[in-house]
Amino acid sequence: MRVSLHQKAMAAICGVCLLALISVGSSLWFAAATENDAAAINVAGSLRMQSWRLTEQVLIPELVSEEALLKLIDVYDNSINSDSLSWLVSRNNELGHYYRSIHAEWQQQMRPLLLDPQGRELFIKQVPEFVDNIDVMVKALQSDSESKLKNLVIVAVATLLGILIIGFFSIRFIRKHLLNPISDLSMASRLVSIGHFSNIELPYRRNNEVGQLTQAFSDMSTDLSRLYDHLEDRVAEKTEALATSNQALELLYTASHHLSRAPYDSSFVSAMLKDWQSLLKLDGCHLCLSGVADSFRLQKITLVDDINPCQSDSCQDCIHGRKNAPEGQLLQQFNLSAENHYFGFLRITTTGCQELSEESQRWLQTFADILATSLYQSSVKTQQQRLLLMEERAVIARELHDSLAQALSYQKIQVVRLKRKLAKTDVYDDAAGVLDDLQNGVSSAYIQLRELLKTFRLTMADGDLEIALNNTIDEYCERQPGIELSLDYQLRYCKVEAHHQIHALQIVREALTNVIKHANASKAVVKCFQEPDGRIVISIEDNGIGLEHVNSVSGHYGTTIMQERAASLDGQLSFKKGTLGGTEVYLEFEAA
């Protein structure tokens, strides 16, 4: 943080004033605190004398004058309850304890003994001890006053020492930060006045007014030297900058032209990254992309010949710029945003902790915007395709419901009516088996049709495959609370067409349906990840009874339908024993 000389000078002055204020304040405090000390010591000392006078008064009983004795007792009461001592009652320290003890002893023991002629002899015996207690209180009063004086001396010495230290460092500071730099500036100005612009050294470098002045003077002499001695180099630099700008514009045009026709091409994007790194002389350059807007799961895209996969499980630190650059390098990040949606970032590293020029940063940001726009258009296109598929499937579901579903419902009713009528005839026993098979067949067909309608009404209008899978898991958890279902989604950026997403989701739903109906499982896990060669893998694994028992169930064609859907994905579907002990459905297909 920059602290100006003015602020430092004000701080020194305020420091001296504060110390002086502390010194004066401590003196005033001492004067106020010791105002009653002398009177208290005087009165406390007089109590001893009055104690002996009272003893002398009652020493010879025949000479005791009651009137004189009462006067002496009143004087003693006035002394021990005087304002000089009564303030000690509220003190919680040792001094207050002494006063309260002496006061209580006088009121409860000594004074009653004096008033009782029979107790005066006992009073004479207790007076020495009573006077000793008064002596202790007097010494405590004296020690308290001496302690206050000692504290005053310590504060005075400390403030004096602080003022001397501030004065010493202020003189040293003025010499170092004002006198010496001004002397160097005066000498440098004489050199500039005679035409010597180079080799001007101003060693003073501070973030204050004088430092800014010396830095400005040095920059001025350097600029003048550069203007006079290196005009040709400046022309060459400008020419090189124009050439770089031209190449950058060509790269931007190529990226815009290519990505407008092909939403995403990993080899092309990697080649573009390599061109930017070469053009801007970057140490590192890579992209982290997401095919879904505002996703926190990104895929790292590096140069063509740079094999550096990202092993991080979470992209939060990178997205929010909390990842530190390697030592000696500077890291800069350019967000990929389009239409208020976030698709990742472009990250570069440079050597020497020197930032790129504003123009270079604008080029990279423009390139990032082009990529973001392409990804946004691709996501919109995928969304439109998904909506068209959903609309088409909804039409089919509606037609099936209005035709075949109603026909099957009618057939179910008719079979029940036929069964009731035949039950009243003699041929019922012979036709009962056929009727049961017919009723079971119609009911099974109706159930399969309902599942088919539910599949056709499946929606993926919003979000992506991960959101659809999460919704499916939640749906099946509500449908079968006794089974623990979970999703392990590890896919990052990979292009999956809308119809591929629909088929993959339906395969997962069919597999989960088999788990619920036939596997007798208590746990199932859906995993989605990508192989190093780019193939997408979706596996559904359970801890149920195993595949051989499921295949033995007749009348179910779920696995055949799943195989057909896998074929429509140009993928492979296999069934094997899983690590959980049950069946694992393993789907593998190529990304778009």
The rounded distance, in Å, linking the Cα atoms of 221 and 131 is 89
Q: Name the pLDDT band for 454 (thresholds 50, 70, 90).
A: low
- pLDDT winner (highest mean) among 29-43, 171-185, 194-208: 171-185
The rounded distance, in Å, linking the Cα atoms of 508 and 472 is 9
CATH number at residue 298: 3.30.450.40
Say yes or no to pLDDT of 538 above 50: yes
Amino acid at 339: E
Q: Give me the mean pLDDT over the 86-104 stretch.
A: 73
Residues 151 and 265 in one domain: no
- Please report whether residue 134 resides in a domain: yes
The mean-pLDDT minimum among 185-189, 311-315, 393-397, 517-521 falls in 311-315
Q: Give me the mean pLDDT over the 450-461 stretch.
A: 59
pLDDT in tens, 546-590: 766 544 444 445 677 788 788 888 889 998 888 888 889 999 988
For residue 40, what pLDDT is reported? 67
Q: Does residue 181 contact residue 204 with C-beta atoms inside 8 Å?
A: yes
Q: What is the CA radius of gyration of the chain?
A: 49
User: What separation, in Å, do the N-terminal and C-terminal C-alpha atoms of the chain show?
Assistant: 53
Length of the chain in terms of residues written: 592
| Residues of the domain holding 342 | 236-374
User: Looking at the 3D structure of the chain, how many domains does it have?
Assistant: 3
Residues 164 and 242 in one domain: no
For residue 459, what pLDDT is reported? 58
For residue 118, what pLDDT is reported? 77
pTM tops 0.85, yes or no:
no
- Please report whether residue 216 resides in a domain: no
- Please report whether residue 78 resides in a domain: yes
- Please report whether residue 348 resides in a domain: yes
For residue 203, what pLDDT is reported? 74
* Interacting residues of 574 by C-beta distance below 8 A, sequence separation 6+: 585, 586
CATH number at residue 520: 3.30.565.10
Q: Find, among 481, 474, 557, 484, the residue nearest to 514 by Cα.
A: 557
For residue 136, what pLDDT is reported? 77
pLDDT in tens, 506-530: 888 888 888 888 888 889 999 988 8
Checking phi first, is residue 353 left (phi over 0); if not, alpha (psi -120 to 50) or beta? left
Two structure tokens written together for 416? 């029940």
- Please report whether residue 573 resides in a domain: yes
The rounded distance, in Å, linking the Cα atoms of 275 and 75 is 108
Q: Percentage of the chain surpassing pLDDT 70?
A: 74
Residues 23 and 154 in one domain: yes
- Half-sphere exposure at residue 114, Cβ-oriented, CA atoms within 13 angstroms: 27
pLDDT in tens, 284-342: 888 887 766 666 667 677 775 544 456 555 666 666 665 666 666 777 888 888 888 87
pLDDT in tens, 56-69: 777 766 656 777 77
The residue among 125, 147, 169 that closes a domain is: 169
